[in-house]
Structure 1
Amino acid sequence: MAVETTDVLIVGGSMVGLAQALFLARQGIRPVLVERHTEVSAHPRAQAASPRTMELLRALGLEQRVRERETPGAQYGDILQVTSLTGTELGRFDGPFRHDPNEVGTTGWTLIGQDRLEPVLLERARELGADLRFGTELVSHRQDADGVTSVLRDLRDGTERTVRSRYLVAADGFRAEIREGLGIGAHGRGVLGQQMSVIFHADLDPYVAGRSFFLCFVSNERVKGVLGRIGGPESDRWVLAPSLPPGASHREYSAEECVELVRAAVGVPELAVEVESASSWEVAAQVADRFRDRRVLLAGDCVHVMPPTGGFGGNMGVQDAHNLAWKLALVLRGQAGPELLDSYEQERAPVAEFTVEQGVIRYLQRSGLDAEAAARHRPETTVLFGQVYRSGAVLTEDGPDDGAPVEDPVVPSGRPGTRAAHLPLVVDGRTTPLHDLLTGGFLLLTGPAGAAWEPAAAAVRAATGLDLTARRVGAGEPPETVERFLKAYGVGPDGAALIRPDGFIAWRTAALPADPAEALGSTLARLLRP
């Protein structure tokens, strides 16, 4: 049997696997992706792309494509809590909104289900050269010192082929077959409940009664769950996600029983309902004990599972993929040592622990199970943009460090390991958000008196071959933007901050050193070969 070769084999073609393929392809790496299903899922599952996810996709020129496929009639309203749609209104929670009032992010939420987002990721990944193979499953894989040998099976004709890859990325979802096969356990609260998704058609507009809401949490003696519209404003297509008894599955519910659950959620016993499909899953909270086993790296739900409240799960997986892509690309090109990949778990595992707990807090609050959870609740802006990385890929500074996994991004510290604060820069006469410039390489952002950094960066780029650009804030920006930069990044007029391809600050210096090229070159060497 002939052996096919590739740099990276990705297992799993859902939201995270497709994002991994896209981000690698954008870096010039042509991965092979395999997915046992023949096409992307028809179920919406994750209902929204977060502002951070949209920021990453925007830098790839995909924001407009995603917004064009937004769930028709998407409503950026509150989250409603009721006994039934026609019953008593128990309260409202803040829902996701398109615009961030704190101007922390580049862009806002997009209410788009995975069934609409995944085709966008798939289409662009293929355009950039990723080899995506649906209807194909991983039969086995074996690691050695130089790579991974995998056997793949085409489920349409049963033929098998062997693929040799330098790395394997497992994005195979919450069932985590690859992780468990490697003997990697998980810890956390475990299973919190069982949930079902029932996609159905019914005319609910008379019972919505003009109210605007993103999701509606229903709680009565017959059904506890979440109700939401997934069709256009005139559509009769909805989804009900009711809680199930422990261990139960959608397979135990007939179409008529699903109809009765919908009727109970709406509060109309004779409501005309047509069930389209149903599926079920565990509501759980856990984090893998490890995110890597030698040449196998794990991303998405196989390493962190959280309740859907907050919309963090799938978005977290996309950011795993983005964190991993640039590191893999540098290692594969020989521009970084393989030890750089150790920083993936060092950075993402603490963030996963924090985010899973925030998802649990929201689940307990909105399910009415824990009134005290509010004391541990952190704002969405902090969860999405406040991560603090500590790893070999960050040159941490001397001084106090409370060890917290997040900081308040509304008041950015500018310290290495935090996301680079949003700045409205002027490029070719047009205002351009800073994160739009992060398309795969390093960016050295300097103060207005930092002209000497530009030839220094050019020298390092020529010597190393790294994608490195220097940009002086103040070359075209108004004084208020310059002041904002100096304050948010904690540097002086001739200082600089080195921003990684994923938008996080790797290093900063308050002032221009005696030999800026040597300082920058040695800094990058320490970061890429920690």
Structure 2
Amino acid sequence: MIDDETPVLIVGGSMVGLASALFLSHHGVRPLLVERHAQISAHPRAQAASPRTMELLDGLGIGDAVRAVETPHAQYGDVLQAESLAGAELNRFDGPFRHDTHGVSSTGWTLVGQDRLEPVLRRRAEELGADIRFGTELLDYLQDGDGVTARIRRTGDGAERTVRARYLIAADGNRSAIRTGLGIGTHGRGTFGRQMIILFRADLERYVDGRKFFLCFVSNPAVHGVLGQLGASGTDRWCLAPSLRPDETHTDYTPERCLDLVRAAVGDPALSAVIEDASSWEIAARMADRFTAGRVFLAGDAAHVLPPTGGFGGNLGIQDAHNLAWKLALVLRGTAGAGLLDSYEAERLPVAEFTTEQGVIRYLQRSGLDPETAARHQPEATVLFGHRYRSRAVAPEDDDPATVEDPRQASGRPGTRATHLPVRHDGRDTTVVELVNRDFALLTTPDGRAWLDAGGEVCARLGLPLDRHVVGAGPDATLIEPSGTFAERYGVGARGAVLVRPDGFVAWRAPELTGDPAATLTAVFDRVLAR
């Protein structure tokens, strides 16, 4: 007997699972999410939402809500190096998440821990209709040609239910039982070490001594780790993230031993502190060999694990969810063929390979890089914004195998993120990327209006919503762009057009008006939507 039916079952209620629920709900799909823990974790874990992630959240209208819960002291940016908080200060430098985006985005890093970000994602997903059940675990599932049948159980009272879903998203972490059960292997550099995080309460104001900093790296014979304040100035909630040996976990550390580490990090052997909790995780570089198996999709740490350097890992997972959500929505609606879902792995696996390598390079920089590895280092802007997709969901112009390009010299080619272009729409300042967040968008110049008429005709026939815009400086433009550089920056001519996907990536472009624009667009949508 089926107790619940849902279009998409999401397993895992951390950042990526909640993002999946949010993006699907934004597209009108009401998913069911199950998470075995009773509540969102109190551990901050991933510390920053990248500019690309903030673009996505701004497009959904919750960017400001995320900025409002930014981690206290994040605005200071500074990072200290010291023997201990009370000991000699060795160095002070700019934090890792204040880099210039070189004019390729209107957003910047937002220093927000998962413990602060996840409630915002959950609240908005539920407002949009997502069914989110914490304290509920997946027992098992079977997939067939039409969907997935799963058994779930409430951890509190043991009550079981059977769920029927069309698709399943595995966001169940780096030890993903779903990935293992599917027989999907992993590859990569493997484990570098382990990191523990200790949550504690203590009055450290006299040791801070009025200094303004985001994090403090401490190093002495008793402890190597990072101290961070979790509450506002004057509060007593802190965390310590000490390094562990690869064979250790937090379970090897008693509360008394954790207290010793905290005291050593602060530099006061008699410090009064209360240990609230401890957890640990693996610092590793590992990728799933596949991201898809039938009707199951791996996302986030279930698909890839990165070192924390660069802050790429959690953001990569959120962008997995964003890439997959619009595709699932169109397939579930019947507008796209099931083949569109094949583009998820085709697009995200190469991006994950590239981003993982960049995280590893940044991690190994601390101990020195060989020239060959150092030569593969790419700028932060390229890692965050330079992805180039190659799949059937893109109408290609060439056979260039490159998976990235420098967004500071954006080409506007199909498969790349829509070139950053500030515009004014309905009386407010925005960008093309922020504006395109649910439906396809067709952009053209004032002389290319025939494209918009053809696009309206084709999409009405397909039952596909389409945003249509004239980009220019004149009174007939719907996107006001005073610089007049749209055509140049997107690589089209005076009567060209650009089709942008719901995820903000260019699906197709035409340098000039063709003889039959409706036929041209029909062929484009048939390809991109796997019709």
The normalised TM-score by structure 2 is 0.94
Match of 2:448 among 450, 475, 486: 450
- Residue identity in the other structure for 1:252: D
Give CA deviations for 1:20-55 in whole Å, capped at 9, x if unaligned: 011111111111111111111111111111111111
Hey, what does 1:489 align to over in structure 2? Answer: 490
Deviates more, 1:85-94 or 1:119-128: 85-94
The answer (yes or no) to whether the contact 1:83–1:90 under 8 Å persists in 2 is: no
- Pairing 1:459-470 to 2, within 5 Å after superposition: 459-470=457-468
For the residue of structure 2 that corresponds to 1:391, the secondary structure is: coil
| Residue pair 1:423, 1:481 contacting (<8 A) in 2 also | no
The code of the aligned residue for 2:348 comes to: R
**Map of 1:433 onto structure 2:** 431
**Aligned mates of 2:273, 2:133 — CA distance in 1:** 37
Structure 1 133/73 Cα, relative in aligned 2: closer, same or farther at 3 Å? same
Number of the residue aligned with 1:109: 109
Does the alignment pair 1:527 with 2:528? yes
* CA distance, structure 1, for counterparts of residue 127 and residue 23 of structure 2: 12
Report the residue type matching 1:497 in the other structure: V
| Counterpart Cα distance in 2 of 1:374 and 1:225 | 26
Q: Distance in 2 between the 1:63 and 1:80 partners?
A: 29
Larger mean Cα displacement after TM superposition, 261-270 or 154-163: 261-270
CA shift, 1:243, in A, is 1.0
Letter in 1 for 2:458: V
Q: SS at 2:453's partner residue?
A: helix
Letter aligned with residue 481 of structure 1: S
Question: 1:297 maps to which residue?
Answer: 297
Taking the aligned partners of 2:214 and 2:75, their CA distance within structure 1 comes to 5
Partner Cα separation in structure 2 for residue 489 and residue 82 of structure 1: 48
How many Å separate the matches in 2 of 1:272 and 1:197?
19
Maintained 8 Å contact 1:87/1:267: no
How far off is 1:219 after superposition?
Answer: 3.1
Larger mean CA deviation between 509-518 and 354-363 belongs to 354-363
Q: Which residue of 2 aligns with 1:412?
A: 410
> Is the 1:106–1:435 contact (alpha carbons within 8 Å) kept by the matching residues of 2?
no
User: What corresponds to 1:128 in structure 2?
Assistant: 128
Provide the C-alpha distance between the structure 2 equivalents of 1:162 and 1:449, rounded to a whole number of angstroms: 56
Q: Quote the residue 2:512 is aligned against.
A: 511
Corresponding position of 1:282 = 282
Displacement of 1:258 in angstroms is: 1.3
* Number of residue equivalences: 525
Q: Which string of whole-angstrom CA distances, capped at 9 and with x for unpartnered residues, describes residues 312-350 of structure 1? A: 111111100000000011111111111111110111111
| Secondary structure, counterpart of 1:75 in structure 2 | helix
Change (3 A) 1:375 1:202: farther
Query: Per-residue CA shift, 1:431-462, capped at 9, x if unaligned?
Result: 22222222310011112321222211211121
State the shift of 1:88 in Å: 4.7
- Give 1:22-61 correspondences, 5 Å limit: 22-61=22-61
Q: Deviations over 1:53-100 (max 9, x none)?
A: 111111111012112222233235144444434235256355213x84
Alignment of 1:16-415 (within 5 A): 16-85=16-85, 86-90=87-91, 92=93, 94-97=95-98, 100-366=100-366, 368=367, 370=369, 375-398=375-398, 401=400, 403-415=401-413
Give 3-state SS (helix, strand or coil) of 2:461's partner.
Answer: helix
Instruction: Give the Cα–Cα distance (whole angstroms) in 2 for the partners of residues 477 and 172 of structure 1.
Output: 41
CA 1:460/1:38 → structure 2, altered by over 3 Å: closer, same or farther?
A: same
Which SS does the other structure have where 2:7 is aligned? strand
Whether the aligned pair in 1 keeps the contact of 2:167 and 2:296 (CA below 8 Å) is yes
CA distance in 2, matches of 1:300, 1:176: 10
In structure 1, list runs of 5 or more residues that go unmatched: none
Secondary structure (helix, strand or coil) at the match of 1:41 reads coil
CA distance in 2, matches of 1:510, 1:62: 36
- Residue 374 of structure 1: CA displacement? 5.2
1:6-29 deviation per Cα after TM superposition (whole angstroms, max 9, x unaligned):
111111111111110111111111
Aligned to 1:14: 14
Instruction: Determine if the alignment matches structure 1 residue 424 to structure 2 residue 415.
Output: no
Q: Secondary structure at the match of 2:384?
A: helix
- Corresponding letter in the other structure for 2:333: R
The CA deviation string for residues 495-527 of structure 1, in whole angstroms up to 9 with x for no partner, is 111110000011111111111122112101111
Q: Alpha-carbon deviation of 1:487?
A: 2.4
Relative to structure 1, the CA distance from residue 329 to residue 83 in structure 2 (aligned partners, 3 Å threshold; closer, same or farther) is same
* Cα shift at 1:264: 2.4
Shift of 1:155: 1.5
* Contact 1:74–1:232, Cα closer than 8 Å, also in 2: no
Find the aligned partners of 2:453 and 2:375 in 1 and give their Cα distance: 50
Letter in 2 for 1:430: R
- The answer to whether the Cα contact below 8 Å between 2:78 and 2:92 also exists between their aligned partners in 1 is no
Q: 1:60 to 1:252 in 2, by over 3 A?
A: same
**Which amino acid in structure 1 is aligned with residue 280 of structure 2?**
S
CA distance in 2, matches of 1:219, 1:360: 22
Between stretches 371-380 and 255-264, larger displacement belongs to 371-380
Percentage identity across paired residues of the two chains: 61
Structure 1 residues 445 and 477 mapped into 2: Cα distance closer, same or farther (>3 Å)? closer
The whole-number CA distance in structure 2 between the counterparts of 1:56 and 1:291 is 22
RMSD: 2.0
Work out the CA distance in 2 between the residues paired with 1:68 and 1:480.
32
Query: What is the deviation of 1:210?
Result: 4.7
Q: Secondary structure at the match of 2:283?
A: strand
**Shift of residue 101, structure 1, vs aligned partner:** 4.8
Cα distance between partner residues in 2 of 1:148 and 1:101: 42
The answer to whether the 8 Å contact 1:13/1:134 transfers is yes
Deviations 1:455-509 (A, max 9, x none): 11211121111121111111166665321x2222111121111110000011111
CA distance in 1, matches of 2:450, 2:317: 39
Q: Give the structure-1-normalised TM-score.
A: 0.94
CA gap 1:304/1:59 in 2 versus in 1, 3 angstroms? same
Distance 2:111 2:32 in 1: 29
The CA distance in 2 between the partners of 1:370 and 1:525, in whole Å, is: 47
Deviation at 1:259, TM superposition (A): 2.0
CA separation of 1:39 and 1:263: change in aligned 2, threshold 3 A: same
C-alpha distance in structure 1 between counterparts of 2:95 and 2:482, whole Å? 32
**Contact 1:199/1:238, CA 8 A, preserved across alignment:** yes
Shift of 1:126: 0.9
Q: Alpha-carbon deviation of 1:282?
A: 1.1
Question: Partner letter of residue 105 of structure 1?
Answer: S
Equivalent residue of 2:407, what SS?
Answer: coil
